[in-house]
């Protein structure tokens, strides 16, 4: 692997910030200084920095608010963050660490001391990077890494080839396909007590589920404290890719996809598993063009203490434009109707070409979803007809008691309207 050539982002509006930036310039890293979170995001390069240094006191937001914003925005969502704070309270420290902060450094801090601390962190990042899967690597002694497939908020996905040692799955499923997709959780998502045990229990349940529109899980394990699982490799692209090509889908096609996805979700819900991050990127197509629900990286077992989330914290987890109101306002108190809402958002996008409040940033969209009713899609795309509009809005009621009570009910509604739109061949 090539040597790490990192960049640092210092977000600090204090008078001493330029001097701190000057001290950091002596490190083997490029340093960018922004006085506020807005300035940092307005001039953000495409490449993620190796480390963000964030002052708790900012002119446009608190450091904690800024950190929450960074966690929703690429390329910052998984970047380690060091918080600079003057006499932080215990409550602030707890909130910062629950938001995944790397370290809290007290201000004022001498530039030479800060540079030494950051130099140590960069060295650790370099060592950690060497442990990441790379092409040709034999992962867990069982899977030959072919190439990376993508990186998300909870983990990275790799195309892998099972070796002879992988023919017997730990989950008891049949011998894997010639090529599989391996999802490995990010290191920062694997350091909380009990998380790995819950992850393995949930993946074992997923591995036992059989549905044509639900990803098939073949194997799972833990390497260096990080959970992973292997699933079918689907090379037909994603629903996001389809929308990018088509703009929007016909009501018939949109309802057909919605019904199939809802049936798959219903099976998972029957086994007390919630998805919690349903979006077009997580719906892939197989070679036959059939949609498959995948990426259960945020799944949690609703039967285990009912509301114990996989992060075990109060952090909101999900994708802002697709989150239900209760997932935003009370993330520890969600049920299967939250997935129903997210699928309703997807149907809205399939019918209109955009999500509700699509013109807003993630944080602003979340506030709207939590507080305001969604304008029916028929007002955006009058040609969709009343039936698809009714199905969509039945999933998008702000109060979950007013929505379809289950994914199965949504699937049934989509099937009924689909049948009305597609004449029977014998008719």
Residue pair 79/41 in contact by the 8 Å Cβ criterion: no
Residue pair 41/22 in contact by the 8 Å Cβ criterion: no
Question: What pLDDT does 173 receive?
Answer: 46
User: Is 140 among the catalytic positions?
Assistant: no
The Cα 316–Cα 226 span in angstroms is 21
| 231 token code pair | 């699933």
The Cα 100–Cα 71 span in angstroms is 9
Catalytic member of 12, 140, 219, 277: 277
Cα 119 off chain centre by: 30
| 249 token code pair | 């889908």
Question: What pLDDT does 175 receive?
Answer: 45
Cα of first residue to Cα of last residue in the chain, in angstroms, is 64
Residue pair 355/307 in contact by the 8 Å Cβ criterion: no
Tell me the pairing of strands 81-85 and 143-151: unpaired
What lies within 8 Å, CB to CB, of 207 at 6+ separation is 169, 171, 172, 173, 217, 218, 219, 220
Domains annotated for the chain, with CATH where assigned, are 7-129 (3.40.50.2300), 138-232 (3.30.200.20), 239-421 (1.10.510.10)
Kindly state the greatest CA–CA separation across the chain: 82
The Cα 161–Cα 133 span in angstroms is 13
| Packed helices 17-24 and 111-129: angle between N→C axes, nearest 10 degrees | 50
Question: What pLDDT does 46 receive?
Answer: 64
| 151 token code pair | 């990186």
HEC sequence for the chain: CCCCCCEEEEECCCCCHHHHHHHHCCCCCEEEEECCHHHHHHCCCCCCCCEEEEECECCCCEHHHHHHHHCCCCCCCCCCEEEEECCCCHHHHHHHHHCCCCEEEECCCCHHHHHHHHHHHHHHHHHHHCCCCCCCCEECCCEEEEEEEEECCCEEEEEEEECHHHCCCCCCCCCCCCCEEEEEECHHHCCCCCHHHHHHHHHHHHHHCCCCCECCEEEEEEECCEEEEEEECCCCCEHHHHHHHHCCCCHHHHHHHHHHHHHHHHHHHHCCEECCCCCHHHEEECCCCCEEECCCCCCEECCCCCCCCCCCCCCCCCCHHHCCHHHHHCCCCCCHHHHHHHHHHHHHHHHHCCCCCCCCCHHHHHHHHHHCCCCCHHHHCHHHCHHHHHHHHHHCCCCHHHCCCCHHHHHHHHHHHHHHHCCCCCC
Q: Which residues in the chain show pLDDT less than 50?
A: 1-4, 167-176, 193, 301, 303-316
What lies within 8 Å, CB to CB, of 409 at 6+ separation is none
| 176 token code pair | 């894997």
The Cα 339–Cα 273 span in angstroms is 10
The Cα 72–Cα 361 span in angstroms is 10
State the Cα angle at 178 between 177 and 183, rounded to 5°: 70
Question: What pLDDT does 318 receive?
Answer: 65
The Cα 385–Cα 215 span in angstroms is 32
Question: What pLDDT does 128 receive?
Answer: 61
Phi-psi region of 217 (alpha: psi -120 to 50; beta: other; left: phi over 0): beta
The predicted model scores a pTM of 0.69
């Amino acid at each position: 692997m090539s040597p790490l050539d990192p960049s640092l982002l210092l977000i600090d509006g204090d008078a001493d910030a330029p001097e701190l930036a000057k001290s950091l310039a002596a490190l083997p890293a490029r340093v960018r200084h922004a006085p506020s979170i807005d300035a940092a995001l307005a001039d953000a390069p495409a490449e993620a920095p190796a480390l963000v240094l964030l002052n708790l006191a900012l002119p446009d937001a608190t450091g904690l608010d800024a950190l929450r914003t960074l966690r929703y925005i690429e390329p910052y969502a998984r970047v380690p963050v060091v918080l600079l704070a003057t006499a932080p309270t215990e409550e602030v420290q707890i909130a910062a660490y629950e938001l995944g902060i790397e370290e809290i450094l007290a201000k004022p801090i001498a530039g030479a001391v800060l540079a030494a601390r950051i130099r140590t962190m960069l060295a650790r990042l370099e060592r950690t990077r060497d442990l990441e899967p790379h092409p040709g690597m034999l992962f867990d002694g069982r899977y030959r890494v072919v190439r990376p497939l993508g990186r998300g908020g909870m983990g990275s996905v790799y195309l892998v080839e099972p070796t002879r040692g992988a023919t017997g799955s730990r989950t008891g499923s049949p011998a894997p396909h010639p090529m599989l997709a391996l999802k490995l959780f990010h290191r920062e998502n694997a350091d909380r007590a009990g998380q790995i045990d819950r992850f393995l229990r949930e993946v074992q349940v997923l591995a036992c589920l059989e549905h044509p529109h639900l990803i098939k899980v073949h194997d799972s394990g833990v390497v260096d404290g990080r959970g992973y699982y292997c699933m079918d490799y689907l090379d037909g692209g994603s629903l996001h890719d389809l929308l990018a090509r088509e703009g929007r889908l016909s009501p018939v096609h949109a309802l057909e996809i919605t019904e199939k996805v809802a049936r798959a979700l219903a099976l998972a819900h029957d086994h007390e598993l919630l998805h919690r991050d349903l979006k077009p990127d997580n719906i892939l197509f197989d070679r036959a063009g059939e949609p498959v629900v995948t990426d259960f990286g945020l799944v949690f077992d609703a039967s285990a203490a009912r509301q114990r989330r996989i992060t075990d914290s109060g952090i909101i987890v999900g994708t802002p434009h697709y989150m239900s109101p209760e997932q935003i306002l009370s993330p520890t108190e969600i049920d299967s109707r939250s997935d129903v809402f997210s699928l309703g958002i997807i149907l809205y996008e399939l019918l209109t070409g955009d999500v509700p409040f699509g013109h807003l940033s993630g944080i602003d969209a979340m506030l709207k979803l939590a507080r305001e009713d969604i304008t029916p899609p028929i007002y955006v795309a009058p040609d969709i007809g009343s039936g698809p509009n009714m199905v969509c809005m039945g999933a998008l009621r702000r109060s979950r008691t007013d929505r379809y009570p289950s994914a199965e009910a949504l699937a049934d509604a989509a099937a009924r309207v689909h049948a009305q739109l597609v004449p029977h061949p014998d008719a």
